[in-house]
Every structure is written in C-alpha cells, then in structure tokens.
Structure 1
Amino acid sequence: MALAWRKLRKAFYLETSLRILHLCPPSSCAPWISVPRLSLHTKPSMPPCDFSPERYQSLPYSRALEIHKQHLSPVETAYFQKPLLLHQGHMEWLFDSEGNRYLDFFSGIVTVSVGHCHPKVTAVAQKQMDHLWHTSSVFFHPPMHEYAEKLAELLPEPLKVIFLVNSGSEANDLAMVMARTYSKHTDIISFRGGYHGCSPYTLGLTNVGIYKMELPNGMGCQSTMCPDVFRGPWGGSYCRDSPVQTVRKCSCTPDCCQAKEQYIEQFKETLNTSVAKSIAGFFAEPIQVQTGFGRLGSHFWGFQSHDVLPDIVTMAKGIGNGFPMAAVVTTPEIAKSLAKCLQHFNTFGGSPLACAIGSAVLQVIKEENLQKNSQEVGTYMLLKFAELRDEFDIIGDVRGKGLMMGIEMVQDKMSRQPLPKTEVNQIHEDCKDMGLLVGRGGIFSQTFRIAPPMCITKLEVDFAFEVFRTALLQHMERRAK
C-alpha cells in the first residue's frame, strides 16, 4: 500500500505522537473487586536483574490513594483494580512501593525508549542540572543548537527546520497551524481510530469516541477510513509490511496488494464529499503506533518505510526517554510562511535540560545499536506471540513491526467481536500479578499494547510470552466454569 500513498501531495506524518489505531487507555473497572486467582499453573520464573531498588520510604499507599481522590483528576485512567504505586525504575524494570519487580512492556505509553533511568542519560541530565536548568529561547545556549544539529542530521532534505516544544499534543497543534498558514486552507483530514491529543485543536484530529466532547472543538477536521486489514472491509493475509500477517484471507498476492486501491478510492470519496476543494493537510501515521527513533527496527523514522517524504513531521514520546519534550520538523519554505504570519514562542520548549537529555538519547540509540535490537528482538517477539494467535481463538490478531505490537482480543476469530472489557481486565490483572506490565487500547479497550524499552532481550521476551500464555490459560479455565 506504500506506493499508492505517494499519490497524496500533502502527508503529515506523526512519528511519536500520542495516538494509536487500536490503542487507547481503558476505563477502569470498579475498584477493589476481587478476581479469583487460579493456582493450576506455575508462575513463570522472572529473568534475573542486577539492580536492587532503594527501600521505599515515602507516602503509605492508603495516603497516596486518599490524596489522589481529593486533589488529582477525577478521570479514571489508572490501570488495575488496585493501581500500582511505582517507586523506582532501571532499564526495562520497574519496582513498586512494596518491592515487587515488574518487566515493563509498555514503556510509559511507549515513551521510555532506551530504558528507565539509563545511566548515560541520567549522568548527562545531572551534569546539565549543575550548569543550567532553564533559560528561555530568547537567549542562545549550546545544548539547543547541538541538539538541533544532531536531530537534523537524521532527517532527509528538506526537513531541516526544527521547532522545539513540550508534548505531542503541542507539536500537533503547531503542525496544524503550519499547515493552515502555508496552504491558506482550513480543512485537515486524519484517520479514524487515531489519537493525536486532547487539546482543543487536536481533539478535532483525534477519532476515538471516548475522547470526543459535547462541546465545539477542533473545527475544520474530517476523518477518513484507516486501511485496517483485520477489521476494515478490504485486505488480509498479504497486505502488511510486517513479519506477521493477519489470518484473514484476501485475494491479494505477496507482491500485489489489491486492497490499497480500494482504500485510496475511499479516501478520494472523503475528498469529494467531506472537505473543501483544497485542504490544508492530511495527518497520517506510517503505522498507527509510535514508530520513531528506531523502534520500527527497519528504519529510524516510520515514513521512511513507505518511501514517502512528508512536509511536516511531529515527534514526542521516545524523543526524551520520558522527559517532557517534543518537536516539529518542517521545510524552510513552510517555516518561513509561519514566521511571516505568527510570532511563535515557547517558554519551555528547547530548554537546556531537555536538549541535553535529547542529545543523550540519540547517542545511546546509536552507541548501543538499539535500532538493530528493535529489529532483531522485535521480529523474534512478533513471531513468538503470533504462536498464541494460532493457539487461542480469543486472540484475533497479532500485529506490529519492530518493538511495537498489538494483540487484539476477540470473542472468537469468526465473529471478530471484541472480547468483553471485564474479561480483558482479568487477563491484564493476571499478567501484572505475574510481573508483566502491558498497555491497553482499542476503541473497545480490547487490544493489549506491547512496546518494551528498546534495550529488551530475547530472554525477557520469552518470560513475557510465558506470562501471557499462562494468563490466557487461566482465563480459558475461568470461562469453562
């Protein structure tokens, strides 16, 4: 399908923004409900870890829960019946307040790219904090210029002008302004199922029902069908650029995906019916997951795998290994058009601390060959977990590339109806109880998000596989009762 997308003149690809097709936070189930635990299966042995966390000496759990209820957002976003109170992290491992160790296969919503508290990144951050934490961009400082040069070297011509901001939502906001300013048009198209942020602007781009508000927002945004070869009307077992294909049959061949033309025709229908004659831009993801900074394995940037040159690239998530940081990269021509119309300014964007950390992340990715590791370990992981799809009828699809994977749970493969949220919750809890943390998402919260830090090993993938398989076996036994 990649070649067909070249026909689109304006493609605004989001590399590591806050979105995904089948992956959005779940609604919490009722707190403190007891789920029966089965003891028929041996808990998989956790791989060794040469790190010992400090003793937890902060707030008691009950006090943290009380403060959360009284003073923090009432929107229920915390995972698990009893939310984890995390205390410390080291590379691919997390430790809670009770000293329990967990293998992190979600990376803080696919944000911790090179590992929790990576020693090299931590050392750079500490050194920079001793020199200069913050000064606004009205002043020059070396970390900002050094980082801009390093990041620009990784992007193709003419994507060489960088705007440093603080989050994916902010980056997408700015990209929308750029597109409209340069094109002098208003309408912007994005894929259904995509999450791009919750700011008033990006809510228009976001096409997941639970994030939509009954208030005016995101004017001038329209959605179009996402090429989904598992749930969509076209495509199947020959249509993915991935080591793992969907099991759904199609009339395509390995070298000729017929579905691409049908999705292109559907997009043309959107152009003919839902937007003005000329649009400002089209926001699209190379894969509807976070694909930048080497996580894809085959390429450093996701758009490179489709042989497409976008006009604007937004990036966040893994850019700072968890430090609040984001960027918008565009061409000199588009950047100049923005400068003529808008005095864009950002107080915290491109701070000395953020840029020092960003440079350290790029250095670690290169020195530790983490893109190669994403390719090798990620392919191993995808093929391994695809075995579970063949074993269990409640796994409808295993998809992904590199170190990012979605496992879509269904009632059965024939109907492809989402597995009820209560059942997915139980599997999620069982994985956590055995020491594995995975993400959740999907329009019905039916998909497990798997995206470990890029330093992960095959031994740890084997452990995650055994945990997930055990949780599925336990679930099937519950079903049989």
Structure 2
Amino acid sequence: MKTELFIGRTQVEAKRQQYFYPCTQHFYRNSPQLVRGSMQYVYDELGKEYTDFFAGVSVVACGHCNPAITSRTIAQLQQLQHTTTVYLTQPAVDLAERLEEVLPGDLRRTFFVNSGSEANEGALLLARMHTGRKGFIALESGLHGRTNLTMSVTGLPMWRTDKYLDKDVVFIPRPYQEDLSLEEAASLSLESLERVLEEKGHTIAAMIVEPIQGNGGMIMPAPDYFRQVKVLLERYGVLLIADEIQTGFGRTGRMFAMEHYGVTADIVSMAKALGNGVPVAAFATTDEIALSLNRPSASTFGGNPVSAATALAVLDYIRDQQLPERAAQLGERLKAGLLELQQRYPAVISHVRGTGLMLGAELSGASADQAAQLTDRVLEAMKDHGYLIGKNGIGRNVLAFQPPLIITEADIDGMLGVLDSVLAEEDKTDGPL
C-alpha cells in the first residue's frame, strides 16, 4: 500500500484537535496513525508494523480484517445492507439461534442493538420491566457504559461524567482490596450486599457486574463469590445482569467468563468481539423474563443484515479455530511470562491479574501519579518497539493485555522479551520514577 495515499500524522492530529471534542484522547505522546490491519498486526502510514496486544479493547478477537469474516461481511453488504425489524430477514434470526446454542443455561431470547452501552441500557430496562422495581446494585470501580443509566451504575469516577445521574443505584465494595486476600475481600463485599438487600431489597430490580472488571484493573474475584451473590439475590427476587461486553466470546478461556464461576446470570449483555469490529451488540435472557419486554420497541440498526452476517462468521470462526481453548493455553504462557517479569522487577510490577487473554500487570510508583507516569512511559516505549498495549485501572497504572485470540506463541515471547528490556531501563533507578 502506497504511503502517499495518507496524509501525515501531524495533519491528522491537527484535524482531530480542531474537530473532535476535547474528551477524545489517546495513549501516546507520539501516536501512530493506523491505516491498515491484518490479523494480529496493524500498520501506520509509514508502513511500520505493530503487533496488537489490545485488540481495540477486546474487539477484534478474531484478528484485524480476517478474510474468513470480512468476505462474508462484503458479500452481505452487496446483497442487502439494511432494513428494519418490521420485515423478515434471515441473518438476524440465524444469529439469535446461534447465540442460543452458545449462551449458558436457559438464556435464549436476544434483543439486538449497536453498542455495549446500549446493550447494558436494555438489560437494565428489562430488569425494571420484569420486577416492577427501580433500583440497582453495582460494584465499585465497574464500567458499564456512557448512557445516562449505564453511567449511573458505573463505579469508576473518571467515567461518571454526567452530574445528574440516576439516584436509585447503590454501590457496594468490589471483591478486591490490595491489602486483603481475595476471600477476605469477597466476604466484605458479600456482607455489604446482604445489608443492602435487607434494607432495600424490595426496591432493587437487579445487580449488574462484570465477571472480570476490565477498566477497573483486571479484577477477578474469588471463585465462589458470584455463586454466593446469586444465592443472596434470588432470596430477594433480584436479577443478576452479567456484563460480558469485554469478557465474552472466548477471551477468558471460556465462551463467557461467568462460566468460570459456575453461575448463569438472568440477563447477559454482549458486544465488542461479537462483531470483530463491526458494530453489533445484544442482551439475552430467558423465555420467562423476555415476556416482560412486550411493549412495542425496535432498534434501527440493531441486528441489521451486515452486522448479523458478520457475527455469524465470527461465531463460526471461534468454533472452527477453538479460540476459547486457544485463549486458555496462550493465556497461561503470557501470564507465566508476566509473573516471571514481576519476580525480576518487583519494584516495577506489583501485581499480575486475570485469566486467559485478559491479563493485567499493575505498575508501582512512589505515588499514584508516578505509577501512572511510569505506565505511560512503558506504553510509549513498547509502541516505539512495535507493540501496542492498553492501560486501565483506577489509577491508570495497569498494563492491559487483551490481544486478538489468534496471537501466536512467538508473538507473546517476542513481546515479553521487549517488555523485559523496557522494564530493565526503568529498574536502573532506585525504583520507578
């Protein structure tokens, strides 16, 4: 591809500054301008190759521009691009049928939308319709979207932009505290949940959770936590909503992350990897609960033929390439490598968390600001060496490893080798500055 087809990154940045809202930011001091992608690789306008270990925040799980998927997207685009749900189209019903095959338990009714925020908004509405109650319970440091209601149940302060959020939300401590064991933190969270239910259970429609808190820092609770949550909620007739938007479709080594805990939620929201870059999202539930969403409703673009055909191709590829199993195996290799780096640089890496190919390495500093600055320096250096890594966490000091699930052992080993050299540079001082 000829580089002269693209204007320079300085000009792109200037247009971005001129025409985008100031809330739109990127990770880097010198951000690459990405112009092309192929499986686990992306390329800038100068032709430099980057190995993607972030996948657009868990989106392109099957790889960038995967021909097995894009060929079917193009074919559908050329046949029927758009209609509405007032007409019959096969791709959408085929996709709903396929989702019923992979969803856990008795979840089989699906409402298609466009984004994760919209999926969670719909799930919350469904819970209110089914229970006749208004309130919600959410975990501190969770992230569920940027609509008013999903922002209301978001527990990360930096994402709670609206000053006029819904007041009928109660936050409880998440089952993680740095100075406690996972079991101790889970116990404190459950005690808080029980107190809230005893006081307000009759007003609560649902509790919404991420099986693994992604933006909260790759937080995975004790194995028995969600089972005990479900028992408490059922006692008070409160529904459980599993936000699987980042965790769904094989990323954690299971098709859905709640399977790690042996729990089936009442409602599951999904997006991101389902479309592998094409906007498609949904919330799914049981026959019984679905009956409560019975007033006329539609989504203009939700479940459109192109998105549905793409998602069907994604599900085929996940099945045929056994991506959940692949994520579990490669995740073990990546996590072992990160743990080895933690042993080598204990003053730099304080924690390694997560499972499958959804892993985080928390970086240390003399202060929260210094830890965040260290994280930015590591991201910049890794980018300069050709590796794109994400960041998250309450203090924005957790390196996020969420690569396409088609990443290879060689890619992982190469990235770990470069990360080793970058961390060694940081460790030359008396500790990260």
Give the structure-2-normalised TM-score.
0.88
Q: How does 1:411-422 map to 2 (within 5 A)?
A: 411=365, 419-422=370-373
Q: CA-atom RMSD, angstroms?
A: 1.9
The 1:157–1:202 alpha-carbon spacing in structure 2 relative to 1, beyond 3 Å, is: same
- Conserved in 1, the CA contact under 8 Å of 2:60 and 2:276? yes
Q: How does 1:47-126 map to 2 (within 5 A)?
A: 55=3, 57-126=5-74
2:192 aligned to which of 251, 266, 286:
266
> Aligned partners of 1:402, 1:82: CA distance in 2, in Å?
30
> Aligned partners of 2:4, 2:325: CA distance in 1, in Å?
36
2:323 is aligned with 1:370: yes
Q: How does 1:111-150 map to 2 (within 5 A)?
A: 111-150=59-98
Moved over 6 A (4+): none
CA drift of 1:59 comes to: 2.4
Partner AA of 1:371 in structure 2 = P
Deviations, residues 160-180 of structure 1 (Å, cap 9, x unaligned): 100000000000000110011
Deviations, residues 235-263 of structure 1 (Å, cap 9, x unaligned): 1xxx5xxxxxxxxxxxxxxxxx4654343
Partner AA of 2:386 in structure 1 = G
Partner AA of 1:234 in structure 2 = L
2:155 is aligned with 1:207: yes
Q: How does 1:395-474 map to 2 (within 5 A)?
A: 395-411=349-365, 419-474=370-425
2:248 is aligned with 1:292: yes
2:239 is aligned with 1:313: no
* Other-structure match for 1:6: none
2:236 is aligned with 1:281: no
* Other-structure match for 1:165: 113
Instruction: Select the structure with the greater relative contact order (CA < 8 A; seq sep ≥ 6).
Output: 1
2:343 is aligned with 1:387: no
- Of stretches 357-366 and 73-82 in structure 1, the one that deviates more from structure 2 is 73-82
Partner AA of 2:387 in structure 1 = L
CA drift of 1:479 comes to: 5.8
Partner AA of 1:409 in structure 2 = L
> Aligned partners of 1:134, 1:56: CA distance in 2, in Å?
34
The 1:89–1:56 alpha-carbon spacing in structure 2 relative to 1, beyond 3 Å, is: farther
Structure 2: 5+ residue runs without aligned partners? 215-245
> Aligned partners of 2:403, 2:162: CA distance in 1, in Å?
35
Structure 1: 5+ residue runs without aligned partners? 1-52, 240-256
Partner AA of 2:249 in structure 1 = F
> Aligned partners of 1:99, 1:195: CA distance in 2, in Å?
35
CA drift of 1:438 comes to: 0.3
* Other-structure match for 1:330: 285
- Conserved in 2, the CA contact under 8 Å of 1:396 and 1:409? yes
* SS of 1:280 mapped into structure 2: strand
Deviations, residues 281-314 of structure 1 (Å, cap 9, x unaligned): 00012221322101111x2111111111211000
CA drift of 1:272 comes to: 4.4
- Conserved in 2, the CA contact under 8 Å of 1:382 and 1:405? yes
Partner AA of 1:317 in structure 2 = K
CA drift of 1:109 comes to: 1.0
Deviations, residues 187-219 of structure 1 (Å, cap 9, x unaligned): 101111111111111111111111223621233
* Other-structure match for 1:225: 173
> Aligned partners of 2:51, 2:327: CA distance in 1, in Å?
17
> Aligned partners of 2:273, 2:420: CA distance in 1, in Å?
29
Partner AA of 2:50 in structure 1 = Y
- Conserved in 1, the CA contact under 8 Å of 2:69 and 2:314? yes
CA drift of 1:419 comes to: 4.3
Percent of aligned pairs sharing the same letter:
31
